[in-house]
Amino acid sequence: MRPTTKSSPGSTKRAASAGKDQGETPFEALASICSVLVVGLFILTFLAENFVIPSGSMENTLLIGDHLVVDRITLTPPASWMPFIRYREPRRGDVVVFFKPVYQPGIDATDADGTPKYTTLVKRLIGVPGDHIHLRNGIVILNGVAQPAGFAQPTTTDNFNEFLDDFPAVPPAEVPDSTESWAVNISSYIQDGDLVVPPGMYFMMGDNRHNSLDSRYWGFVPRTNILGRPLFNYWSFEAADGQLEQTGFSRKLAWIGHVLVHFFPDTRWKRTFHVVH
């Protein structure tokens, strides 16, 4: 049995006074808040980033209104100042976020002064450097082997499109929304009916393959354009196609009001913390 000691009233007061003296000062509280903000800013700038899905090109893997946390480290070139971070090269089947390699007037946005903006996109990586690719009836034939449809929307007699489903049989020059540079250069990458992915480049497609402007329309994505990969969906809110891309202060203010009013009924609660595959 442990011995017990009695404390005098004086010692109790001194202990209480010492506890008050050790309380956090306003300056210390401000320093703590600033530390949290700095750490959060570092994470959002260098390690992770918020990304919102504005269109249905990746349905049903990603839905319009999905808010994603994007890993910006794993797929970036290794850095000597962060030796303990795990890096790797992009792989077939990865869902990746990247800068669109070309600007398409009338499709892509511009800055306030009219300067073209290189759109940030999210697609599935289909081909890596050296791969031979073609599609037949919507099925990807990769290096001579038919690939499972996986998460992709299936091709049916109702949605079949020769350019999209038998790519690259139909020249992009004959298809609206294809870029002129891709229409001119694609023939140099075709061997025996296959599209051959050149060094340092990647071939991307949306899972909603009949409603996706992807590498079939504008070509390969350079390695340097790849920003990262989505990790999970932290919030999903129902929205129409193009609704999240509206510009102008009044429209954005109206959208904020809509979210506040419909936050609970229009939030897709089942998709909260949904991991992206």
What pLDDT is recorded for position 255? 87
What pLDDT is recorded for position 113? 77
Q: What is the 3-state secondary structure (H, E, C) of the chain?
A: CCCCCCCCHHHHHHHHHHHHHCCCCHHHHHHHHHHHHHHHHHHHHHHEEEEECCCCCCCCCCCCCEEEEEECCCCCCCCCCCCCCCCCCCCCCCEEEEECCCCCCCCCCECCCCCECCCEEEEEEEECCCCEEEEECCEEEECCEECCCCCCCCCCCCCCCHHHHCCCCCCHHHCCCCCHHHHHHHHHHEECCEEECCCCEEEEECCCCCCCCCHHHHCCEEHHHEEEEEEEEEEEECCCCCHHHCCCHHHHHHHHHHHHHHHHHHECHHHCCEECC
What pLDDT is recorded for position 1? 47
What pLDDT is recorded for position 42? 46
What pLDDT is recorded for position 252? 86
What pLDDT is recorded for position 46? 45
What pLDDT is recorded for position 106? 83
What would the pLDDT profile of 215-271 be if each residue is shown by its tens digit?
Answer: 999 999 999 999 999 999 999 999 998 888 777 888 888 989 999 999 999 999 999
Q: State if pTM tops 0.85.
A: no
The ranges of the chain with pLDDT < 70 are 1-24, 26-49, 77-85
What pLDDT is recorded for position 80? 57
Q: Which domains does the chain have, with CATH numbers?
A: 41-128+199-275 (2.10.109.10)
